[in-house]
Structures are given as structure tokens and as C-alpha cells.
Chain A
Amino acid sequence: MSLLARLQSLDRRWIFLLMAIAVAGPILWSGLTGKTPPEQPTDAARRVLKVIDDLPEGSRVLFAFDYDPASAGELQPMATSLMRQCAARKLRIVCIALWPLGGNMAQETIAHVIRADFPSLREGVDFVNLGFQAGNEGVMKVVLTDFTKAFPKDTRGQAAADLPILQGVRTVRDFPLLVNVSAGYPGSKEWVQYVVSASEGSVKMIAGCTGVQTPQMYPYYPGQLAGLLGAIKGAAEYENLLNGVMGGDPAPKYLEAQRRMAPQLFGHLLLVGLIVVGNLIQFMGRRGTRA
């Protein structure tokens, strides 16, 4: 059998194997050497950094965790860095979730960042996790008129209305910034549609999205959306920028997205190679048939 014929009838499991090697190899390389590919931040990531940086100390930030473990590979590095910057800027962080497992993701991020590196911050005063509420955009509608009605308690069981961090909060308009890390529906798109648009400019929003969502969110940026982190590349850019601002040697957990760019590089190269080879095979096959 000729090489061309063999390639034309190639068992797809060989392609799976190539993909596994392209992703696993760089992970092992990065894991063993501790090196990450260099990063060149784009304007979108710089804007995210600036929007948070421009807020006065003590401002309230509504942090919506609209994702679950299935998308954590892409989104957790974003959530980690976003919370790190908010905590370092001494903003008051109110976490909520419209995905059933989003409350868990918020809890993990709080443990990972705040409890580990900002132990002086007090729960209920400087940060709080109000957990999940069912209803999708229905919850967004309620927070527009009565925030604590939509989220009546925190995960410890304290009544939301009694929490020092929420004193003076009547609606979502009392949060100057909405940070959303989103994996789909309901997520960034719905926050823009139901809250940012209805808040008449009083709520700014920045979003971190999965690769699938990112292209759909671009039309809202930089108008309705003040900043946008797209997929793992957006997370790596922002992580890189933030590490530069924070100074010193970053802890390995703050390099997660940049580490993940190594398998990304080889995975993308493989994809491009596969498309080129696939087209070449067809082209040569056609020529062979004509001849």
C-alpha cells in the first residue's frame, strides 16, 4: 500500500495518539523544568488589569462564578488571578454563582487565594461567598431591584442583610464592578444583556470566558464590556501582567495559565499540521485520480 493510500485510510487512533503526545510532552517538560513560554499581553488583558486597578480601595466587587469543574482547566487560572488582584487592591469581594457548582468554585478560589495569601481579610467583612441561586436570568432580574432577596444568606448560614460587607447594598447598581468568569449559559452574555444594559452605566463589567464563548463576546467589548479575557491565552496574559505588577517571584499557583500555554503551543501546531496534511492528501489524491 502506498504512503498516500495509508494516510488516506489512517486509523483515527493514530491522530489521538499524536494529540496526546503533543499535549502530554510539553506538560512534562514544563513540569520538570519549571519553564513557561514567553507571553505578550494584549490590550484586552491590560484593560482588565486597569479597570480593577482604577477602583478606589474598599470598593465592592461582585464576583460571579458561572462555571463548573468541567471548564476549570481554562477558567480557574483567570478566577485565581482576578481574585488575587481584587484582594491585593483591598477591594471587598462578594462571590455569587448561577451555576450549581459555581459556589464550589468560589469556595476553592477563596481557599486558594484569600485564605492562603491574604489571611488578614475577614469573611463577611472583606469577602463573602453567597453561593448558588437557581433561576439563571431570573436571578439577574431580582438583583436589579433587591440584591439580598436574590441571595438571602452566605455559605456559613449568616443572613446576607446582616453582613457588614453588604451594608448599604440595595441593588446590583451598588457594585461599581462586576467580575464574571463564565463557561456558558447563564454567563457573561446574560450579565451584559440583563444587568449591564439595565444598569444605565452604573455597573462596569469585566469577563473571563471559555474559548467557545470568547468570539461571541467580542461585539460587546470595549463598549458594554470593559475588559475581556479570552480562553487560556487571555488568562496567561493577565497572569503575566499581574505577576509583573505584584513583583517578586510568583508562587507556582500563579503561573498555572502560563504553564498551560506550553501544551497549547504544540497542540495548535499539531492541529495546523493535521489540516495542512489532510488537504495535501486530498490534493494529491485528486491529481492521482486525474492522472
Chain B
Amino acid sequence: MVLTRLIPLWIAIVSGVAILVSAFIRPMESWGENFTDTFNVIAAIASVLGAGSLLKANLAKVSRRDAGWGFALVVLGTFLITLVVGLGKIGVHPSHDFPQADFGGKQESADTPFGWIYEFAMVPLTSTMFALLAFYVASAAFRAFRAKNLEASLLLGTAFVILLGRTFAGVVLTGWLPDWASGLRLENLSVYVMQVFNTAGNRAIIIGIALGVAATSLRILLGVDRSWLGGGER
């Protein structure tokens, strides 16, 4: 109980309160700074935990010969290759500033194996994954976007104003409007929508989230919310 709940609870309270106080009391600033610096390094170590979990899950898949275990093997293979060439700085030449440091060179250039993996695997794979969504947005627009009621019509109408007003189409379609009615041109309407209605809506969301975050954080710092410890609130 002491090791599993009491000590973690006090670690959270002390570290959180130190950060909170450091924002208001100048002499305490360094406390906040050092705790946060420790936090940043732990964040870097967390990537090891993530990679370890990935390895564990995929190794289990391969050893059990689960469906698609061949692709788990691809995950493991590409992971290990990237890790070895990256951590070992294989094929990386020293830095011009410090030729004596054998591990001092940069490795983002494509003439290093790690840079090659970045440029010819990471870049095309991740960017195409994101680009794929353009097709699914189009499909969803055709199948699911229906002006069923006033609210849905407002959503669709705004989408039209933004889609047309943020391209040259807006100028072509409504550029003929006289100057006294220029506010109704699509390109101007899209700006008003963003600066007035979107600002108001998003501001309300932001204020709502801020209240929620402040309340949750306070509950954690006061030790009231212990759900993060697991096993439910006590």
C-alpha cells in the first residue's frame, strides 16, 4: 500500500505543487525548472518504453504464428535495422567542427544509412498515409453530409463558404458584386466566419476545456483524484 499508492500519491503532489508554486514565487523558479528538466529527460526515455512494448507485442505475434505474423516480422526487421544504424551512427562521417569526435557527426543527410531511411521510407510513408485521408473525406462528403435540419444546414453552408471562399472560386463566383456589397463576396464572408462565428465557438470550447483542465489538475494536486493510480478512486 505504501509503495504502490502512498508514495506515488505524494510524488505527484510534491512535484506538481513545486511546478505550480514556481510559476508565482521567483526564488522557487529553479525548483520548477529542474523538475521540468527531469521530466523532459524521462519523456525521452519514454520512447524506449514505447519501442519496447512494440517489440514485445510483435515478438509474441511471431512466436504464436498469429494471423499476419509475417508483417510483424517486417515491423521487427525495419525497427531493428533503423535502430542499429541510428544508434551506431553507421556510415556517418565526423562533424567539421569536431573531426576528432567519432560519434559527433550529423546523420540526417541521405548519404548516411539513417538519413537514407528517413528520406526514402519515413517521408513517403508518413506523408502518403496523411494524404490518403483526402479520398476518404470526399467519400464521406458524398455519403454522409446531409442537410437534414437547420443545424446540419448551418454546418454545410459554412463548409461551402470556406471551401469556395478560400480558393479562387470565391472570386470568380462573387467577384461581380459591387463594392457596397463586397462584404458578401465569398472570400470576405469566409474571413468573417472565421473571425466572428468560429472565434466565438472555439473560444467557448477553449474556456470550457480550460475549466476542465484546471479542475482535474487541482483534484490531482490535492490528492482527491487518484484514478491515475489504477484500481479506481478511493
Contact = CB atoms under 8 A, between A and B. Distances in A.
Contacts, number: 158
A134 B129 contact: no
Given A16-B139, A215-B194, A70 B129 contact: yes
B159 interface: yes
A66 interface: no
Contacts of B43: 134-136, 138
B143 A278 contact: yes
B32 interface: yes
B202 A219 contact: yes
Contacts of A265: 167-169
Interface of A: 10, 12, 15-16, 18-20, 23, 37-38, 40, 42-43, 68-73, 101, 103-104, 107, 133-136, 138-139, 141-142, 145-146, 149-150, 155-158, 198, 214-216, 218-219, 230-231, 233, 261, 264-265, 267-272, 274-275, 277-279, 282
Contacts of A219: 199, 202-203, 206
A215 B202 contact: yes
Contacts of A264: 167
14 contacts: A10-B142, A135-B43, A141-B19, A142-B33, A157-B97, A157-B101, A158-B97, A198-B23, A216-B202, A219-B202, A265-B167, A268-B169, A275-B141, A278-B146
A95 to B, nearest CB: 13
Nearest to A140: B36
Smallest CB-CB A-B distances: 5 pairs: A135-B40, A134-B44, A219-B203, A70-B126, A274-B142
A3 to B, nearest CB: 15
A277 B104 CA distance: 59
Nearest to B30: A145
B194 A218 contact: yes
A279 B168 contact: no
A101 B119 CA distance: 11
- Consensus secondary structure, chain B interface: helix
Given A107-B108, A157-B97, A135 B36 contact: yes
Contacts of B180: none
B2 interface: no
- Consensus secondary structure, chain A interface: helix
Nearest to B32: A141
A134 B41 contact: yes
Interface of B: 19, 23, 29-30, 32-33, 36-37, 39-41, 43-44, 47, 95-98, 101, 104, 106, 108, 118, 122-123, 126-127, 129-131, 134-135, 137-139, 141-147, 156, 159-160, 163-164, 166-169, 171, 187, 191, 194-195, 198-199, 202-203, 206
A277 B199 contact: no
B167 A268 contact: yes
Nearest to A133: B40
B72 to A, nearest CB: 23
Contacts of A134: 40-41, 43-44, 47
Given A233-B167, A278-B143, 18 more contacts: A15-B135, A15-B138, A37-B167, A69-B122, A103-B108, A104-B108, A134-B47, A139-B40, A141-B19, A141-B36, A142-B36, A156-B96, A216-B202, A216-B206, A218-B195, A219-B206, A268-B164, A278-B141
